[in-house]
Chains A and B, each alone.
Chain A
Amino acid sequence: MSAIDDLAAELARLPGIGRKTAMRLTYHLLKQPAEQNRRLAVAIADLSERIQPCARCFNLAEGELCAVCRDPRRDASVVCVVEEPADIAAVERAGEYRGTYHVLGGRLAPIEGIGPEQLTAGALSRRVADGTIREVILATNPSLEGEATALYVQRQLADTGVRVTRIARGLPVGGDLEFADGVTIAQALQARREMA
């Protein structure tokens, strides 16, 4: 029985999957051809081996650079700063934005022990320092922590002379960029403001 329990326990760790669902999935997999299960196992194993942070923007990447950084049609002089890779997918869904990204890897959250050192803000400063970037759009979540994080990044970039803007409100306060609809994100990008 332990192989069943082991898999169910692993599945139950996934978001959105409780103990009952984990058991149901496990029994479903038991009925599948062994070959299909092997493909699933290989795909999962490959995921962590092949996907790594983009060397430039910390988005998820297969290879050194992510799909956005590799795309020559993207405007590399504009950088949209987000908290997590999932936020990039949300901005891309809006379909308006043609620049590139920078993933901070979270937001300032002192209670969780997340300070500036835990984020990739230093790498962003180095990207900006080489002079090819003319605008940084801060698209951290419209939450208190997201605002403080935007303020911190803006301070870090203040001496570089780069134009720093913040996406507009219109996104619900305390909300998640990830769950905002495309129209709202497109509007928030258009109505971005200078950060003084």
Chain B
Amino acid sequence: MLLTTPAVVLHAFPYLESSRILRLATREAGVQSVIAKGARRARGAQRMTLDLFVEGSAQLYLKPGRDLHTLGGFDLTRTRPGLGADLGRFAAANALGELMLRFVSEEPQPEVFDAFVAALDAVAVAPPGDAASAGLQGAWGLVAALGFGPALEACAVCLAPIPPDADATFGHAAGGVLCPRCAAERGGRRLPAAARDDLRRWTEGLPRPGALDVGTARAHLRLLREFLQQHLHDGRALRAFDAWERDPNGG
């Protein structure tokens, strides 16, 4: 079956003498593994630009029941060289790509693909040295598109409203903020009102006002990692995410 779909390169590695194996995020068919035969050697019109995070229209020959499909062509529509021009952007983009690789199946999830593409676009033009904010916005946007958006305005357990200016407790298992009574029973991580406001904006696809200092960025990344571990995780380490958390602005 031939499928033409918007796609983004998530991972590429050489295969045999001159081919590449790619993992693609596609709009119509989730995340797919494909082989681009002869891609490393092709010249001129045969050449496909298959760099990390480039976007294009991919022609996939999908064989039912197989893990590896064939990439017939890839017409480039967008490159994001900005992702390589700042180490913080590079770290954030790789962490986002890893979330796609790990948490998106072969099922079509167009809204997840769209959230991913929007996230890459935002990270690619984030101020140098301050890409963590755009990356976090993108990651929470992905989490929300995957259907795991956290409860932020009312208690995740008893639905009691929590005033916007109040500090709260974040309960990972409950999937969001907790009122003082439920927090006393269940425990959780303290979430200052300002951090909760950041989360609210990010899950709604809005930027956070002002730059994010490294300490706050790390605290946000820790919260996100714990949340991912609780809701999406398969137990394997998230290597790109861990590198991002260690060094949110890429040194």
Q: Which residues of A contact B (CB under 8 A)?
A: 15-16, 108, 110-113, 115, 143-148, 151-152, 155, 172-176, 179
Contact = CB atoms under 8 A, between A and B. Distances in A.
Contact of B17 (A16, A147, A155, A172): A16
A112 B17 CA distance: 21
Given A16-B17, A113-B239, A173-B49, A179 B41 contact: yes
A50 B250 CA distance: 38
Contact of B85 (A147, A155, A172, A173): A147
A85 to B, nearest CB: 15
B251 A155 contact: yes
Contacts of B54: 174
A12 to B, nearest CB: 11
Interface string B1-33: 000000000111010111000000000000000
A47 B42 CA distance: 31
Interface stretch (B90-98, B109-117, B219-227): B90-98
Contacts of B81: 144, 147
Q: Which 3 A-B pairs have the closest CB atoms?
A: A174-B51, A147-B84, A110-B240
A144 B98 contact: no
A15 B40 CA distance: 14
Contacts of A174: 12, 49-51, 54
A176 B50 CA distance: 11
Contacts of A145: 52, 84
Contacts of A148: 83-84, 87, 90
A145 B9 CA distance: 13
The size class of the interface chain B forms with chain A is 35 or more
Given A16-B16, A145-B84, A148-B83, 20 more contacts: A110-B94, A110-B98, A110-B243, A111-B98, A111-B101, A112-B239, A144-B51, A144-B53, A144-B90, A146-B84, A147-B84, A148-B84, A151-B85, A151-B90, A152-B251, A174-B12, A174-B54, A175-B40, A179-B18, A179-B41
Contacts of B140: none
Contacts of A176: 14, 40
Contact of B16 (A15, A108, A151, A155): A15
B170 interface: no
A172 to B, nearest CB: 7
B31 to A, nearest CB: 13
Nearest to A114: B239
A22 to B, nearest CB: 13
B94 A172 contact: no
B47 interface: yes
Contacts of B229: none
A10 B97 CA distance: 34
A167 B101 CA distance: 32
Contacts of B95: 110
26 contacts: A15-B16, A16-B17, A108-B90, A110-B239, A111-B94, A111-B101, A111-B239, A115-B243, A143-B52, A144-B51, A144-B53, A144-B80, A146-B84, A147-B81, A147-B85, A148-B83, A151-B85, A151-B86, A151-B90, A152-B87, A172-B47, A173-B49, A173-B79, A174-B49, A174-B51, A176-B14
A115 to B, nearest CB: 6
B240 A172 contact: no
B103 to A, nearest CB: 14
A137 to B, nearest CB: 18
B202 interface: no
A77 B91 CA distance: 33
B51 to A, nearest CB: 3
A144 B50 CA distance: 10
Nearest to B13: A112
Interface in B222-251: 239-240, 243-244, 250-251
